[in-house]
Chains A and B, each alone.
Chain A
Amino acid sequence: MYTQALNTAETDDRGLEDASKAAQFQARIDAEERIEPNDWMPAAYRKTLTRQISQHAHSEIVGMLPEGNWITRAPSLRRKAALLAKVQDECGHGLYLYAAAETLGTSREDLVDAMLAGKAKYSSIFNYPTLTWADIGTIGWLVDGAAIMNQIPLCRCSYGPYARAMIRVCKEESFHQRQGYEIMLTLCRGSDEQKAMAQDALDRWWWPVLMMFGPPDAASQHSDISTKWKIKRFSNDELRQKFVDATAPQAQYLGLTIPDPGMTQDAEGHWRYSEIDWTEFKQVLAGNGPCNRDRMAARRKSHDEGAWVREAAAAYAAKRAQRQTAQAAE
């Protein structure tokens, strides 16, 4: 998921580029053709996508942290195996996405460095802590649910490698959401304490999850060009509404209460939610969420501690290549 803050397209600089090439490019987009890595594309399209796809990749990788927190404490072997597989999937998603981003001409090493240097963002949602086991259920149910809402339209994104990566990701994401909902269902059918734990997790995650879809349409200024380029197919508010409509009955089935007393269903069946606290969202994006520092510290530590592995693998490959050349010369 996790492309929320990333919907800010670069300013359109096509005036500086070959106008006929730009027109041909837009005509291809309008005809629903996919743009492939070696095709001509406006510099701003390349830059916007590099940022969006790499931030999406960073989010998948950082997203492993809040869930990894519970692998050793999962309540049963079945839950543990499932969570381990889910976290491994998130890693895979990050790797598909880095590969897609790289086709635009920036190396994975540079993309990762930008993230570690704090120059590239990741989804705000992963800056919240996972305090109880019910948080793992809630993340699968709501965070992955929101991710699916956002990612399904990306399967038709104009950039071929991104669209193809999203198809793989979406297929796997559905297991994530179902395993999360099953955890919630088990808790809600359990003791009063377990049900209270489920309700507490929903109370804490609900609003941050709604923020995952990004700023309200009225406030997001750069969506137009992303829509024109068919990177974005639905607005933030449209996706958020779809998500709320899909989730409200699921919460009812669990017997949980969405922490929004103002929520009502309108005549058309849409669930209308209350105003979102965008100051919190801005604070989290600015680095002041509950876990921003922890997440960055964990990523940097892991990157630094893995340095010797990368060095050893490179040295070994170089030695083998040298030996092969020497043997060939004999």
Chain B
Amino acid sequence: MATPNTPLWEVFIRSRNGLAHKHVGSLHASDTTMALQAARDIYTRRGEGLSIWVVPSTAITASDPAEKGMMFEPAESKIYRHPTFYEVPEEVGHM
């Protein structure tokens, strides 16, 4: 009997500076325990992090790159969402 392909996982690591977990790459493992161990061996050999998340790649739903124009247009046309849109006289100082 052919062995099924080993599932793919996405690896996220939180570095020691306290920032959010960040995607660092992917790996293959047959279950969560092995995925965590492999993530440690592959992605944290030089003190890259203090916490690891592994997520089955199949659990990720991604936006469609072909739709990105429509998807992100609303953010681009609303310049009043940025602080630089508003005028504050120089005398007032830093705000």
Contact = CB atoms under 8 A, between A and B. Distances in A.
Given A95-B27, A96-B25, A107-B5, A313 B65 contact: no
Interface string A82-94: 0001001100100
Nearest to A96: B25
A95 B9 CA distance: 13
Interface in A252-305: none
Contact of B28 (A108, A172, A316): A108
A165 B28 CA distance: 16
A311 B2 CA distance: 9
Nearest to B10: A99
A138 B66 CA distance: 48
Contact of B42 (A95, A102, A310): A95
Contacts of B8: 99, 102
A314 B29 CA distance: 9
A109 B5 contact: yes
B25 A310 contact: no
A327 interface: no
Interface of A: prevailing SS? helix
Interface in B3-19: 3-6, 8
B11 to A, nearest CB: 10
Given A36-B65, A109-B5, A314 B30 contact: yes
Contact of B27 (A99, A109, A165): A99
Given A88-B45, A320-B31, A314 B6 contact: yes
B62 interface: yes
Contacts of B5: 107-109
B64 interface: yes
A313 B25 contact: no
Contacts of B3: 307, 310-311, 314
A10 to B, nearest CB: 23
Contacts of B27: 95, 99
B34 interface: yes
A38 B42 CA distance: 25
B31 A316 contact: yes
B6 A310 contact: yes
B65 A39 contact: yes
A265 B42 CA distance: 43
A316 B65 contact: no
A275 to B, nearest CB: 41
Contacts of B62: 38
Given A36-B65, A92-B42, A92-B45, A99 B6 contact: no
A109 B4 CA distance: 10
Contacts of A164: 25
Contacts of B30: 310, 313-314, 316-317
A40 interface: yes
Which of A88, A164, A172, A310 gathers the greatest number of chain B CB atoms within 10 Å?
A310
A317 B45 contact: no
- The list of the 6 closest CB pairs from A to B, nearest first, reads A313-B30, A317-B30, A317-B31, A99-B26, A38-B65, A39-B65
6 contacts: A36-B65, A88-B45, A95-B27, A310-B3, A317-B30, A317-B31
